[in-house]
Amino acid sequence: MTEVKPKKTVLKDVKIFKNLEDEIIKTNKCCACGACVAYCSSQGFDVIKMEGYTPQFISDANVDNCKECGLCYYICPQTDPLMDKLDNIYKIKDEMGYVEDVIAAKTTDEKIKEVGQDGGLVTTLLMYLFETNKIDAAIVSEYDENLKPLPKIIYNKEDLLKSSGTRYTISSNLLPLVDLYKVAEEIIQKQKQIYDINQLRMAFVGTPCQCRAVRKMQLLNISPTHVIKYVFGLFCMENFDYDKLFELVKAETGLEPKDIAKMNIKKNFFITSKVNETKEVDLHKFDPAVRNHCQECDEFTSRFADISFGGSGAVQQNSMLILRSEKGKKLITDAIIEGYVEKFVPKKSPIPEWKASKLNLLKRMTNNKVKK
Ligand SMILES: Cc1cc2nc3c(=O)[nH]c(=O)nc-3n(C[C@H](O)[C@H](O)[C@H](O)COP(=O)(O)OP(=O)(O)OC[C@H]3O[C@@H](n4cnc5c(N)ncnc54)[C@H](O)[C@@H]3O)c2cc1C
Ligand code: SF4
Ligand code: SF4
Ligand code: SF4
């Protein structure tokens, strides 16, 4: 009879990166959030990397470096483990998630008005957090010269305007955390007077799937998400493959990425060129560019955020906000009191009815997405 080695029996039950590859990555369910690589690399394990939008072993020689800890599998927002616990913690009972309050609002800052996607509220609240010394850094997404999203940690409010606006292609916003422990002394010690990087206070902006990954990591209390103090979630109906999207944009409008100033989805796709000409294209024309993992996604309004932000349901140049935590509610209340944010006051119906109708609309949109 062969002897049973307890160590191997335990490891057999733990799902590891190879399982993540088989179940999520090779089946095109990976949303390219970067959480698996951010965690593993921040531990110095030297096993996996992000190649474009695909997490993979750094090389064949690195496969054996895997500690088989299984954490990459557990924290992946596309796997089942931990979801029951998360739903419990974040009081999620239905498709909308926990709603403390719903409001519409816009920025009072003229510069943010110009560059913000809807009410410019994400940028404004980040500005408020920087200016009141409640955060030292934020994870946002910028554009390169070809409109490719560049996920980035920024340390100064001066860098905020470059990140305003929506990129309708993947920005792997957890990935910059890979470099958390390599932040230059210049920034941390001289500018922020922080001598232990673990004391950094960061805000995170991301899509619903990315916020789910952050919350899974925080549930396990693992680095590097321990520095995230505010989670700002975006509404997200779908996201697009960069190459396919811009191939279709070129075919429909003749515009190359370098010619485009802004893109916006409001029922249809609106593409504004740098000479300020806006072209409207039927959104369905871009269906072939929708990322595969978005086809089965059941989140629209970022259920795991402190505050969720979208344009749907808000009047022009306003954002719709779902406040989900005490922290989120206090933040927006303070920003309104301090004059950073102007709250929308409905004139045609009493406020409770207005709120109920907006929540119904967002519920319907979420249900339509799930049915699709
Ligand atoms: C892929 C995608 C699909 C969306 N679909 C809808 C929708 O169907 N309905 C709806 O109401 N709203 C949708 N939104 C949200 C909406 O476009 C705005 O982001 C939101 O209303 C906030 O606007 P704002 O003016 O407050 O933000 P701003 O002040 O303009 O700030 C936007 C913030 O979003 C970050 N960001 C931009 N692109 C990305 C990205 N790809 N990944 C992660 N972070 C990013 C920026 O870094 C910035 O911090 C979507 C957003 C994305 C990224
Ligand atoms: S060491 Fe852990 S986190 Fe890294 S790839 Fe292996 S199982 Fe995943
Ligand atoms: S953690 Fe994110 S990047 Fe890694 S496999 Fe899962 S979805 Fe993809
Ligand atoms: S539709 Fe879902 S899976 Fe796709 S980017 Fe948005 S939240 Fe992530």
pLDDT digits (tens, 9 = 90+) for 100-129: 999 999 999 999 999 999 999 999 999 999
Q: Is the pLDDT of residue 8 over 70?
A: no
Q: Is residue 346, in this structure, part of any structural domain at all?
A: yes
**Same domain, residue pair 278 and 361:** no
Query: How high is the pLDDT of residue 1?
Result: 43
Residue nearest to atom 1 of ligand 3 (CA): 76
Q: Has residue 90 got a pLDDT over 50? A: yes
Q: What is the total count of domains within the chain?
A: 3
DSSP string for residues in 100-126: SEEEEEEE--HHHHHH-SSS-HHHHHH
pLDDT tens per residue across span 220-272: 999 999 999 999 999 999 999 999 999 999 999 999 999 999 999 988 999 99
For ligand 1, whether the C-beta of 79 sits within 6 Å is no
pLDDT at 10: 43
Residues 24 and 61 in one domain: yes
Q: Which of 22, 29, 31 to mutate to test the pocket of ligand 3 (most atoms within 8 A of CB)?
A: 31
On whether both 65 and 186 belong to a single domain, the answer is no
Q: The CATH number of the domain where 253 resides is what?
A: 3.10.450
pLDDT band of residue 9 (cuts 50, 70, 90) is: very low
**Would you say residue 2 lies in a domain?**
no
Note whether 230 and 267 are same-domain residues. Answer: no
Residue 7's pLDDT is: 46
The per-residue pLDDT for 12 is 59
For atom 3 of ligand 4, which residue has the closest CA? 294
Nearest to 233, CA basis, from 321, 104, 153? 321
279 contacts 234 by C-beta, under 8 angstroms: no
Would you state the pLDDT for residue 191? 86
Query: What confidence score (pLDDT) does residue 276 get?
Result: 92
Ligand 2 atom closest to Cα of residue 71: 3
Please say which residue of 50, 80, 110 terminates a domain. 80
Residues 184 and 320 in one domain: yes
Domain that holds residue 61: 11-80
Distance 80 CA to ligand 3 centre (A): 13
Q: Give per-residue pLDDT as tens, 340-365.
A: 999 999 988 899 999 999 999 999 99
Alpha-carbon Rg for the chain, nearest whole angstrom, is 21
> Do 159 and 208 share a domain, yes or no?
yes
For residue 68, pLDDT over 60 is answered with: yes
pLDDT at 37 over 50: yes
Q: What is the pLDDT of residue 189?
A: 85
Q: Which atom of ligand 2 is nearest to the CA of 16?
A: 7
Q: Are residues 306 and 166 in the same domain?
A: yes
How does residue 303 score in pLDDT terms, banded at 50, 70 and 90? very high
| Whether residue 301 is found in the same domain as residue 261 | no
Asked if residue 4 belongs to a domain, the reply is: no
Give the per-residue pLDDT at 317. 94
Q: Three-class SS of residue 10?
A: helix
| Average pLDDT of the chain to the nearest whole number | 94
Which of 11, 12, 14, 17 most suits a substitution to test ligand 2, by most atoms within 8 Å of the C-beta? Answer: 17
292 CA to centre of ligand 4 in angstroms: 10
Query: Looking at residue 190, what is its pLDDT?
Result: 85
Structure confidence at residue 359 (pLDDT): 96
Pair (73, 89) in one structural domain: no
Q: How far apart are CA 246 and CA 286, in angstroms?
A: 10
Q: Which atom of ligand 4 is nearest to the CA of 236?
A: 6
Q: Which residues line ligand 2 (CB under 6 A)?
A: 16-17, 39-40, 45, 47-48, 66-72
- Among the atoms of ligand 4, which is closest to the Cα of residue 207? 7
Do 267 and 154 fall within a single domain?
no
Q: Please indicate, yes or no, whether residues 114 and 64 belong to a single structural domain of this protein.
A: no
Phi-psi sector, 278: left (phi>0), alpha (psi -120 to 50), beta: beta
Pocket of ligand 3 (CB under 6 A): 20, 24-25, 30-36, 55, 76-78, 213
What per-residue confidence (pLDDT) applies to 41? 95
Q: What is the mean pLDDT of residues 72-94?
A: 97
Answer yes or no: do 66 and 94 share one domain: no
> In sequence order, which residues have a C-beta less than 8 Å from that of residue 211 and are 6 or more positions away?
204, 231, 233, 302, 303, 304, 305
Amino acid (one-letter) located at 102: V
What are the angstrom distances between the C-alpha of 299 and each of 25, 88, 92, 163, 201?
19, 16, 12, 23, 27
Cα-to-centroid distance, 311 and ligand 1 (Å): 9
Going through the chain in order, the beta strands assigned E by DSSP cover 48-51, 54-57, 101-107, 137-143, 149-154, 202-206, 228-234, 260-266, 268-273, 278-281, 307-310, 319-323, 341-343
Does residue 216 surpass a pLDDT of 50? yes
pLDDT, tens only, 147-197? 999 999 999 999 999 999 999 999 999 999 998 888 878 788 888 889 889
